Amino acid sequence: MAARGTVDFGSRYRVGWHVLVGAVAVPLAAAIGANASIALGQRLLALATLAVIVAWYALVAPLAMENRDERWGATYFAVLAVAFPFLLAIAPLSGALLFALCPQLFVMVARWRIRLPLLLLLYAELAWAMLARAGVGRYAVAMTGVTVLVPMTVTILAGAYLTGIREQNRKRAELIDELTRTRAALERAGHEAGVHAERERLAAEIHDTLAQGFTSILMLAQAARTTLPRDTAAADGQLDILEKTARENLAEARSLIAALAPVDLTGRSLADALDRLAARHTRDTGTRVEVSIVGKRSNAPTGTDIALLRTAQEALANVGKHADATTVQIELRHEDGHLTLTVTDDGQGFDPATICGGYGLLGIRTRAAGLGGTGNVQSSPGQGTTVRVELPLAPAEQAAYSLQPVPDLNPTPDH
């Protein structure tokens, strides 16, 4: 379907062809009727022939212009080529009809091998009529040549130009249609990519929050089940922790549904959120977690803080499930225009070459790459594991950071 605004020139301005035919036929009919040198009967015959030509135009020409099958145009001009000589034989002035007929030829017939014979035939008929009336002489032949060849040459040049314009308009319309289809396809692809990316993001968010929270709840429930027969008071304490963890997980679920920042970051800095995360992990698993902050930064982008907090959550979840560690060190460093979060444990470690990371490790790398940073995991059997994410500061943050005092490399006691 053609795009709006790309309607073919000939279709939009077809009324112009009707005006042109009328502008030639009406004065020509008046001139024939007023020519007293022609007998009345011949004048009536000429006017009748002219009326037939105009009627033939009104009946067939619009269809020939609309139809891409050039056989309509060829048939239309074949009939005109028969009627035109009769009109010329009575009134040579009728050659003025060529001003209306020839432009139509280039609209109705596309191929030059059909156009040229028809065009030559019409002008040959005009030349014949002129020579038949003036006689065959040197002057008559010269005048006929000027009268016929010059308009015919101009007609061919104008027809070639008109053909080029129509072809250019057709190609432009096709190009616009193609661009419209391509844009629609790109919009669909962009929408699908956005949906896919959002699904991946939600999968990573659920893995880093809800799934880890449920894992903690499961571990606490199993511990309470084991402790309950032996020590009811201790089991009550474990159940209290389990209830608190469930409430925190519920808050995370509500935050995720509302597309808000993590609950730990609501109204708090990233350093405070890391402290809370470390305390919670120590409480739930018994593994000591220490947090150190190097450098200071204000007005942190929420997306950067979320990525770093999620990295710490994933790293601690893996420590609790796999590392069998006794101590975990979390370091958040701000320097050289970058933020670096490092989580190091003294657990049993693993060989990264033999482990295919699931949503956890993949989510760490994906978040870091999405913010223009890097994420990697270093580990070896018996040597513990280090998760490191480095993110660049935004240009405005870099400027603000450069105006701050040199960071205190010795963390304050409360961290």
30-56 pLDDT tens trace: 888 888 788 888 888 888 888 888 888
Residue 211 in domain:
no
Q: What is the pLDDT of residue 345?
A: 93
Specify which residues 334 forms β-bridges with: 339
Last residue of a domain, one of 182, 197, 231: 182
- What letters, b where the CB count within 10 A reaches 16 and e where it falls short, cover 81-116? beebbbbbbbbebbbbbbebbbbbbbbbbeeeebbe
Amino acid present at 294 = V
Could you list the residue range(s) of the whole structural domain that residue 281 is in?
A: 270-415
Residues 170 and 21 grouped into a single domain:
yes
What whole-number distance in Å separates Cα of residue 393 and Cα of residue 403?
14
pLDDT of residue 359: 54
Is 248 a member of any domain?
A: no
User: What is the structure's pLDDT at 134?
Assistant: 66
pTM: 0.41
Give the helix, strand, coil percentages of the chain, each rounded to 5.
70, 10, 20
Tell me how far CA of residue 57 lies from CA of 16, 87, 101, 282, in angstroms. 14, 15, 9, 95
Task: Specify whether the CB–CB gap between 331 and 294 falls below 8 A.
Answer: yes
pLDDT of residue 303: 76
Q: Provide the CATH number for the domain around residue 403.
A: 3.30.565.10
- CA dist 171 and 168 (Å) reads 5
Relative to beta strand 385-392, strand 338-345 is: antiparallel
CA distance 231 to 321: 25
Number of independent structural domains in the chain: 2
Residue where a domain stops, chosen among 151, 182, 213: 182
Asked if residue 285 and residue 144 are part of one domain, the reply reads: no
Closest among 364, 366, 326, 357 to 344, alpha carbons compared: 326
Q: What is the pLDDT of residues 91-105, one digit of tens each?
A: 878 888 887 887 777
**In this structure, is residue 175 part of a structural domain?**
yes
In a domain, 233, yes or no: no
Run of H or E including 410:
none
Q: Answer for the pair 368, 270: CB distance below 8 angstroms, yes or no.
A: no
24 and 165 part of one domain = yes
Q: Considering the domain boundaries, does residue 213 fall inside one?
A: no
Q: Are residues 162 and 57 in the same domain?
A: yes
2 is a domain residue:
no
Is there a domain that residue 301 lies in?
yes
pLDDT in tens, the chain (415 residues): 444 444 445 556 677 778 888 888 888 888 888 887 888 888 888 888 888 888 888 888 887 777 777 788 788 888 888 888 888 888 878 888 887 887 777 777 777 877 788 788 888 877 777 777 767 777 777 877 777 777 778 877 877 787 777 778 778 888 898 888 888 888 888 777 777 776 776 777 676 666 777 777 778 788 777 877 777 777 777 788 877 878 777 777 765 654 445 656 666 788 888 898 888 888 878 889 999 988 876 565 777 888 888 888 888 888 888 888 899 999 998 887 788 999 999 988 888 777 655 556 777 887 788 888 898 888 888 888 999 999 887 644 443 333 333 333 333 333 3
First to last CA, the chain: 67
| Domain match, 178 and 274 both | no
Among the candidates 148, 182, 216, a domain finishes at 182
Q: In 4-111, which residue ranges form alpha helices assigned H by DSSP? A: 9-12, 14-34, 40-66, 71-90, 98-108
Q: What count of Cα atoms within 13 Å lies in the side-chain half-sphere of residue 371?
A: 25
263 falls within a domain? no
Distance (Å, whole) CA 370 – CA 362: 12
Residues 175 and 288 both lie in one domain: no
Same domain, 287 and 165: no
In the block, residue with structure tokens 């250019």: 168
